Amino acid sequence: MDIYHIEIFTSPEGNFLEKNIVAIIGLLLVILTYLGERISSAKRAKKNNKYNWFLSIIIQPNLERIEKIYSSTEETLKKSINELRTSSSLPHDQYLLLQRKKMNQFKNEKRSYFNNFSSLVRAYDPNLANRIDEIINELDDIYTQNLDEGISDESKSFSVISSEIYRNQTTLYANLFEEINLIETR
């Protein structure tokens, strides 16, 4: 059998590899091209799945709720400042209780929504969730600071307060859409 095997690859007309080298190289190139396309296609599919998941699960269902929480924050802050301004004649202890109540109401509203949102984002990317948590904490600071300052500083207009709130919202959106750009470029 060994003789027969050798005879196939070494025939009187020449070496089998010499005669078929172009066909062998062509076949190897086709196989490598096929494997390269499969790998590239798998990477594209993974990227598209990640992109679609991020958009359809995190971004789209939450845009309206994010918009509502920010407009609610603006309205609640304005109402709270006005209520506290009109209640400035209350005894100091009662006034502080009312102020604390207003802060806690906001924190509860914010927490009820953003904890779920943050958990969803954390499942996708913990670093992005940490950045969003920082932005949400800044919103909390904006609310608290303006509640304190808005009462004592009547010269501070509501348009300035609104711009601070919506600047925070813009930062949140920028971080979310930056992630979309990162997905597209990876």
Cβ atoms 13, 19 nearer than 8 A: yes
CA distance 7 to 169: 79
Cβ neighbourhood burial of 136 (10 Å; 0-12, 13-18, 19+): buried
Q: Would 112 be classed as within a structural domain? A: yes
φ/ψ bin of 125: left (φ > 0), alpha (ψ from -120 to 50), beta (otherwise): beta
Same domain as 99, residue 152: yes
Q: Residue 168 is which amino acid?
A: N
Q: What is the pLDDT of residue 66?
A: 92
Split into its structural domains, the chain has a count of 2
Same domain as 57, residue 31: no
The reported pTM is 0.74
Q: Would 138 be classed as within a structural domain? A: yes
Q: What is the pLDDT along the chain (186 residues), one digit of tens a residue?
A: 455 554 545 555 556 667 778 888 989 999 999 999 999 999 989 888 888 989 999 999 999 999 999 999 999 999 988 888 888 788 888 888 888 998 998 888 888 888 888 889 999 899 999 999 999 999 999 999 888 876 666 667 888 889 999 999 999 999 999 998 888 787
Q: At which residue do the structure tokens 């709270």 appear? A: 80
Same domain as 25, residue 72: no
- What range does the domain containing 22 cover? 2-37
Q: Would 42 be classed as within a structural domain? A: no
